[in-house]
Structures are given as C-alpha cells and as structure tokens.
Amino acid sequence: MSKGMYKAKAWGAKGGNFGILAAFIAFAAFPFYWMLMTMFKETRDLMNPNHNPYLYHMRPTLEHVRVLFFDTLYLQWLWNTAFVGFLVVLITLITAIPAGYSLARLTGKTGERLGIGIFLTYLVPPTILFIPLSKVISSLGLQDSLYSLVLVYPSFTIPFCTWLLMGFFKVIPKDIEEAAMIDGHSRLGAFLKVVMPMSIAGVLTVIIFTFTLVMQEFVYGLTFITASSRFTVSVGVPTFLVRGDVYFWGSLMGACFIASVPIAILYNLFVDRFIAGFTVGAIK
C-alpha cells in the first residue's frame, strides 16, 4: 500500500472512532436533553403532534417548575430521600466494610462460597419480599415511618456492597497489611491506617451505589408509607404528578432531572473505579 493510502486509512479509523464515541454520547445524554427540554415546555407545545418534540415552538415556561416546587411536596420528598439515604449509607458501610474485608481475607473455598451466598440474597426481588417484610414492619410499629425504609433498604444494599468491597479489599496485597503489623500496629490498626485509606475508592463507590438504590426504590416506599409528607422522591413524584390518566409531563421530567443530575455527575467521576470494583474479584 502507498503512503497516502495508509494516511487515508488512519484518518478513516479516527473518523470511525469519533463516530462511535459520538453515537454513545448521544445515547447516554439524550434522556437528559429530553427531560431538560420538556421541563420548560408549554403543555400545548408538548402535546401538539405537529411540533418537533426535541425543539421549542413556543416560548419556554417556568410553570411546570412552579407546580413541582409549590403545588407538591417535592422538596420534602427530596429531604426524606436524603435522610433515608444517609442512614442507609451509614448502616451499609458499618456492616459491609467488616464483612467485605473478612470475606476478602478468608482463604480457600469457604470465603468464596460465603461471598456468593451473600450476593445471592441481593437477587431476591422486593416484589416477593414486601409482604413478609410488611409483617415485620407492623410488628415493630414502624408503619408509615421513614425508619421502616431505613430498616428494610439495607437488606439489598448490604449484600451488594459487601460483594463490591470484597473486590476492592482483595486487590490490596496482604504484604502491606503485614508490614503495618510488624511496624507496630494490631490487625485492626493496620486495617484502619493502611487498608482503609487505600480503599477510599471502594467506600465512595458504595456510598454512591447505596444512595442510587435508595433513590430508585419504589415497592417498599409505596407499601410501607402512606402519608404524602413522608414519601420519598420515587414514590411521591409518580403519585402526585400522574393523576388518573393525566400526566404532568413538564413537572415529572423536571422532578426526574433534578433528582438524577447529581447522581449522574458522581457516577461519571467514579465510573472507572466502579467498574474496577466489579471486575477485580472476577479475574484474580
């Protein structure tokens, strides 16, 4: 092949890469774009089938945002979600860090099987569990309380996060811990001074992941909570912005956009670590 052809091929490959990348970016960003568009769109503009749904044909409006913030308890729901999320993250970390560390250091088949066993509990769906769990909640007197969610959510966050942290702890060489033990620390001291600082990425991943799970959970939130002032975002938004067969699309999209953007940004910051956490245990 001539020099020119190589050059042309290189440019072609570059163009191909760029094209694929652009397609993926469009795919990932499109929901956000549509949410943002719809959030400020007049309902008449939105509902007119002759109008391009991706562009404004009439002046944008703040009406939907007003409805969201002043006619619903959206801010209260956000606060409720944050409150439950914070406590669930705390409980998950307190439980999953020691569990993940123990499983990572348990040598042989026992640790591996125990790890898989714990992960399997994550796969039991809430749609099966909510009936027996509602019995537990009522016998504890936690009906219609946010603490019912604080109690129930760790049942799916802990197994997954234990698994995730196990992967992070496994890649920390034992030598480093042993060096810290020779240098003057107990096993606990070595864990706190050396293993934990090296696992910050894992802990952050767990925080983000737990928070996401709490935000999107619907079944438990719907069944255990009745008062609208105690709803979480994922229950409150569809309950109040879908009335009969009327969808308040502008406000719905606004509610979703505001709730999802912070999580999306956090995910993007840690996506590499997140994937590493999933795969480390698998290869080694």
Partner 1 sequence: MATVETRDIRKLFGDVKAVDGVDLLVKEGEFLVFLGPSGCGKTTLLRMIAGLETQTSGDILIGGQVVNDLPPRARKIAMVFQSYALYPHMTVYRNIAFPLKAQGFPGDQIPQKVEWAASTFGIGKLLHRKPRELSGGERQRVALARAVVREPSVFLLDEPLSNLDAKLRTSARDELQQFQRRIGTTTIYVTHDQVEAMGLGDRIAVMSGGKVRQLGSPQEVYNEPADTFVAGFLGSPPMNLFERDDYIAGFRPETFLPVGLHDTSEPLVTLWAKIHRVEHLGADRLLYGTMRDTFPNEKVIINIPFTVEMQITPGEVYEFAVKEKDIKFFDRSTGLRTEPRRFWEKRS
Taking contact as CB under 8 A, which single stretch among the options 57-65, 175-183, 205-213, 237-245 is the one that binds partner 1?
Answer: 175-183
Using the rule CB under 8 A, is 192 a contact of partner 1? Answer: no
Using the rule CB under 8 A, is 197 a contact of partner 1? Answer: yes
Using the rule CB under 8 A, is 179 a contact of partner 1? Answer: yes
**Burial group, residue 277, by CB count within 10 angstroms (0-12, 13-18, 19+):** buried
Using the rule CB under 8 A, is 262 a contact of partner 1? Answer: no
Q: State the minimum distance, in angstroms, from the CB of residue 177 to partner 1.
A: 8
Q: State the minimum distance, in angstroms, from the CB of residue 193 to partner 1.
A: 8
Taking contact as CB under 8 A, which single stretch among the options 28-36, 172-180, 209-217, 256-264 is the one that binds partner 1?
Answer: 172-180
Alpha helices (H) along the chain: 3-39, 43-47, 63-66, 74-105, 108-122, 126-139, 146-152, 154-170, 174-182, 187-190, 196-198, 200-216, 219-224, 233-241, 249-283
Total residues contacting partner 1 (rule CB under 8 A)? 17
- Residue 75: name the closest of 205, 228, 220 by CA: 228
SS3 123: coil
Using the rule CB under 8 A, is 175 a contact of partner 1? Answer: yes
- Which of 33, 183, 268, 275 touches partner 1 (CB under 8 A)? 183
Angle at the Cα of 260 (from 74 to 276), degrees rounded to 5? 145
Using the rule CB under 8 A, is 110 a contact of partner 1? Answer: no
Using the rule CB under 8 A, is 219 a contact of partner 1? Answer: no
SS3 assignment for 194-223: HHHHHCHHHHHHHHHHHHHHHHHCCHHHHH
Q: State the minimum distance, in angstroms, from the CB of residue 158 to partner 1.
A: 27
Q: State the minimum distance, in angstroms, from the CB of residue 267 to partner 1.
A: 24
Euclidean distance between CA atoms 173 and 170, whole angstroms:
7
Euclidean distance between CA atoms 42 and 60, whole angstroms:
6
Do the beta carbons of residue 72 and residue 241 sit within 8 Å? yes
- Which of 78, 181, 266, 276 touches partner 1 (CB under 8 A)? 181
Using the rule CB under 8 A, is 184 a contact of partner 1? Answer: yes
Taking contact as CB under 8 A, which single stretch among the options 23-31, 85-93, 150-158, 178-186 is the one that binds partner 1?
Answer: 178-186
Using the rule CB under 8 A, is 55 a contact of partner 1? Answer: no
Using the rule CB under 8 A, is 272 a contact of partner 1? Answer: no
Q: What is the DSSP letter of 27?
A: H
Residues near partner 1 (CB under 8 A): 173, 175-176, 178-186, 189, 193-194, 197-198
